[in-house]
Amino acid sequence: MSSNAITLIVLVVVFAGMLAFTSRARRRQAQRTQAQAAQLTVGSEIMTTSGLYGTVVARNDDDTVQLSIAPGVEVRWAVAALRDVASLPPQYQPDLTKAEPAGRDDHGDGAGPTS
């Protein structure tokens, strides 16, 4: 065999190996995405890829969800643009069990109780 034939065989083997690894990685990523989408149910606390937190209030047939981002405010987002809050690093997970900060009253103006 000539050195050109050996070089060609090596290149074909390397190319085939790269194709095998990338297709496997794509399949794994697709499985993870499907699993995450299956866990996305009404009431799920999520964060969008742009950092907006919300609660899923409805799933639509066109791969979108309705998010409640404030009382009375609902927005529509693509499922692909959502991150599960549990998948975020701890410093970005909101502490949903934390009590109201000291000094806040029921009106949210921070004035505290009046005497």
What is the residue type of 42?
Answer: V
78-101: burial string, b at 16+ Cβ within 10 Å, e else: ebeebeebeeeeeeeeeeeeeeee
End-to-end CA distance of the chain: 97
The pTM for the full model equals 0.51
pLDDT in tens, 18-43: 998 888 888 887 887 777 767 778 88
Q: What is the pLDDT of residue 74?
A: 93
Q: What is the pLDDT of residue 75?
A: 94
Q: How confident is the model at residue 87 (pLDDT cuts 50, 70, 90)?
A: low
Q: What percent of the chain has pLDDT over 90?
A: 19
Give the mean pLDDT of 89-112. 50
